Structure 1
Amino acid sequence: MKASILISLSLISQLLLYSCSHPVGEQAQRSFSLSKSEVALDHGNLLLNNRSFFKKIVGLDSMLLFDGNSLQFVLYDLKSKKQILTISTPREGPDFFDFPFMDVEIEGNTLYVLSKSFFSTYNISGKNLVRFGTNEIHSSKSNYMTFNFRLVRNDSVLFNRVPNQAVYGRKTSTLVDSTIYFSFNINSGSHSKINVVSPPETLLSDDSRGYFQDFSFHSFIIQNDSIIYNYPFTSKTFIYDNANNKHSTKQNNSALVTNMRKTAKPEIIPTSDWVKYLYTGPKYSSMTRDEKTNNFVRVGAEFQLQPDGSMFNSKYLMIFDNNLNMIEEFELDVRIMEPPLVTNGKIYLMKTDQSKENAYEFLVYEMKSNKELR
């Protein structure tokens, strides 16, 4: 799943396409150009499934994917399009990996893995270094689940907390503690809550207005001293400035995607009506940030009724400046899987329809500043 970069549209034709395809909305001034290409990351001599459902940027021009067939992580160098590392994930023995994975990171020569039951670290050969039960890293495991983390330092980790009301779609217990982040020190084993609570838009403290369930799982990134987080049910972005203990919200309204999902009533969750709810309305991917351009990127999606009565999941690429002002959004003409992966000025979108048996295929948009084009 590698090799070959195919330039499919010239910059001029793309700019004409974008200007014709979008409604005019409030957007900040764009200071970069976009070029479109396709990239295939070849499997080499490995027998891999070309549909990797876990993929993440883990450093400049480095992408980590997990292959469910061979049960191994594969690390690619995006410049050379070559595999540079594989890590096996045995399920038994002293170096076992717990499944399923919630989140994974590589920092230096250490692999950090969050699963439902453990937070573990390994060296790049797959040898376990330390392992904590998820009940050890925070004290309210029975009321919350943890799905994402970010490394603050090698010994300090920031985790999110998703209340069980969001996980199970019903009020399973009184929401006594609504904080949604905590930090954990690997060396000391200590943990502390962060002063961020579920925003009222999630409805987690007001079940009379309905539920978003799966759509109220928050994802986050860290920029300097701020936690920037968002939810699939809304176009809004939430910011917590840790240095100043200040909370703020960006509306981030889209001109192409409905900005807020309709809620579901609690009684439909165990019925077929819940499936209908899942396949209607908008959904926003996690936000990611490119260190080269300082731009933020996400994908918005919305099911659209087709003339034959079927529903098609249209997807839209959205780009924001360093202040989270919208500067570009347009409909993608290729089916892709979220989330967008961003590094070194390039946005990687894994194609849903993989035509090559021995490669991971990505649609790539490169953001080049106007200075680079001179």
Structure 2
Amino acid sequence: MLVLFSACSKPKQLGNELKDNLEQSQFSIEHGDKIISNRSVFTKLIGEDSLLYYEYTDRAFYIFDLKSRVLNDFLKFEIDGPNSMEEQVLSFDKVGDQYAILSSNYISFSDKNGQILKRKRVNQFLNNMDDPTISKTTSFKVINENQLYLSQSPRAVIAPFKYSEASLTPIFAIYHVNEDSIEHLPIYSPEETLINDETRGFYSSISQHFFILNNNCIVFNFQFSPSIYRYSLKSKQLTQFDGKTTRFPEATEPFPANKYRDPAYLVKHLVQNGTRFSNIEYDAENDIYIRYASKKTFSEELKKSNYELYLQVFDSDFNNIIEQEVLKPGKPEVYLSNGFIYMIGASSAYTEEDATKFTKFDLRQIK
């Protein structure tokens, strides 16, 4: 597969008065009589001003209405039985008159009453951990009622394996729902994932990639790297953009290969240090891309970590045009709706027992 490299050029000016920083403000949405733990690992914007929230403790989906600022019931499943949902949800979307839900091991299709109509096992890792060519499905996007784009993380980018055919394991596929078949796309793990050289280390769970569909292209990036990739579905050409900024000029340090079976080191490496990059979203009105970047460093002298979180905005050529610090800690996932970017509050200082706090960034000043 041919990979083209594109270095950043001089940033393109958007309008007459591009400001260095976007206005940040905070608000809360009360939970009412609903029990919300504020520890969900899955949230997603669905439709305008509607943020889907999965409460794994009771297998229920709720919707935060970001405009009217209320919390509404949405969809509930069972913990066990034929209409059960797994504890971890990875992706969700509407497909026709059904809901498609990706969990740890399955894609499930349900009706609006939480009745499971169909399941497909998609996690190849189960009882098969020694095969470096297997993959785990981590998210999906809906093309139409019969087709879903799947992102897949090969086993060989999560853990160190000696060079093998794993480097030719596709990282995207199309799931044909009616035919119950999967068609792999010719897009493979980039060199920076270290899939071809286990001696340089590995990236474990932060090797997961995020993606969006835009203008007949797949745009994707990885948690560990500033690089942004664009694959043209028409020309079958992959272009890599460095995505570097002054504050985030390089990828995070990989885990040493010889530390693979040292859980104490792995936890310390993950928790105390490292650079992370979030999902990317596209704002069509301003023709810009948006993501978060975070950096954590550990002070041995103070025995504590310092955490910095920034919002990054790129033009259509992936030149960085805005990079500003997020003032209140939040979950680094981009939720974009009606000219605003929303972020769910994080840490005990910015969450409440009976309400969820949000930070809002105003994109309307970009003209």
- Out of 89, 108, 112, the residue aligned to residue 120 of structure 1 is 108
- Out of 50, 63, 84, the residue aligned to residue 38 of structure 2 is 50
* Native 8 Å contact 2:174 2:183 kept in 1: yes
How far did residue 240 of structure 1 move? 0.3
In 1, the alpha carbon distance for the partners of 2:227 and 2:170 equals 19
How far did residue 84 of structure 1 move? 4.0
Letter in 2 for 1:166: V
Letter in 2 for 1:366: D
Which runs of no fewer than 5 residues in structure 1 stay unpaired? 1-24
* Native 8 Å contact 1:292 1:343 kept in 2: no
For residues 88-107 of structure 1, what are the structure 2 equivalents within 5 Å? 88-107=76-95
* Native 8 Å contact 1:289 1:297 kept in 2: yes
How far did residue 340 of structure 1 move? 2.2
- Out of 66, 69, 77, the residue aligned to residue 54 of structure 2 is 66
In 1, the alpha carbon distance for the partners of 2:147 and 2:259 equals 41
In 1, the alpha carbon distance for the partners of 2:93 and 2:58 equals 20
Instruction: Say whether residues 1:215 and 2:206 are aligned partners.
Output: yes
Letter in 2 for 1:65: Y
Counterpart in 1 of 2:308?
314
Letter in 1 for 2:311: L
- Out of 172, 178, 182, the residue aligned to residue 169 of structure 2 is 178
How far did residue 132 of structure 1 move? 1.6
Letter in 2 for 1:368: R
Instruction: Say whether residues 1:362 and 2:358 are aligned partners.
Output: yes
CA deviation vs aligned residue, 1:128-150 (integer Å, no higher than 9, x gap): 222222279xxx99711111111
CA deviation vs aligned residue, 1:142-166 (integer Å, no higher than 9, x gap): 7111111111112210111111122
How far did residue 71 of structure 1 move? 2.4
Counterpart in 2 of 1:277?
269
Instruction: Say whether residues 1:250 and 2:241 are aligned partners.
Output: yes
**How many residues of Structure 1 are paired with residues of Structure 2 in the alignment?**
344
In 2, the alpha carbon distance for the partners of 1:293 and 1:126 equals 38
In 1, the alpha carbon distance for the partners of 2:289 and 2:205 equals 23
Letter in 2 for 1:288: E
How far did residue 72 of structure 1 move? 0.6
CA deviation vs aligned residue, 1:324-366 (integer Å, no higher than 9, x gap): 2211001222211221222222111111133432111111101
Counterpart secondary structure, 2:269 = helix
Identity over aligned pairs, percent: 22
Counterpart secondary structure, 1:267 = helix
Which runs of no fewer than 5 residues in structure 2 stay unpaired? 1-8, 125-130
Instruction: Say whether residues 1:295 and 2:288 are aligned partners.
Output: yes
In 1, the alpha carbon distance for the partners of 2:162 and 2:136 equals 15
In 1, the alpha carbon distance for the partners of 2:366 and 2:145 equals 36
How far did residue 369 of structure 1 move? 4.5
* Native 8 Å contact 1:51 1:360 kept in 2: no
TM-score, normalized by length of structure 1? 0.84
Distance 1:177 1:355, change over 3 A: closer
Distance 1:142 1:176, change over 3 A: closer
Counterpart secondary structure, 1:106 = strand
Counterpart in 2 of 1:336?
330
How far did residue 305 of structure 1 move? 4.5
Instruction: Say whether residues 1:81 and 2:72 are aligned partners.
Output: no
Distance 1:98 1:357, change over 3 A: closer
Counterpart secondary structure, 2:333 = strand
CA deviation vs aligned residue, 1:265-287 (integer Å, no higher than 9, x gap): 21112222223322223111121
In 2, the alpha carbon distance for the partners of 1:47 and 1:215 equals 30
CA deviation vs aligned residue, 1:35-76 (integer Å, no higher than 9, x gap): 221121221221221333211111221110011333210023
Counterpart secondary structure, 1:146 = strand
In 2, the alpha carbon distance for the partners of 1:207 and 1:190 equals 32
How far did residue 264 of structure 1 move? 2.3
Counterpart in 1 of 2:3?
none
Counterpart in 2 of 1:132?
120
Counterpart in 1 of 2:216?
225
Counterpart in 2 of 1:263?
254
Counterpart secondary structure, 1:337 = coil
Distance 1:321 1:85, change over 3 A: farther
* Native 8 Å contact 1:134 1:141 kept in 2: no
In 1, the alpha carbon distance for the partners of 2:304 and 2:12 equals 36
* Native 8 Å contact 1:164 1:172 kept in 2: no
Counterpart secondary structure, 2:244 = coil
* Native 8 Å contact 2:167 2:196 kept in 1: no
Counterpart in 2 of 1:148?
139
TM-score, normalized by length of structure 2? 0.86
Instruction: Say whether residues 1:28 and 2:24 are aligned partners.
Output: no
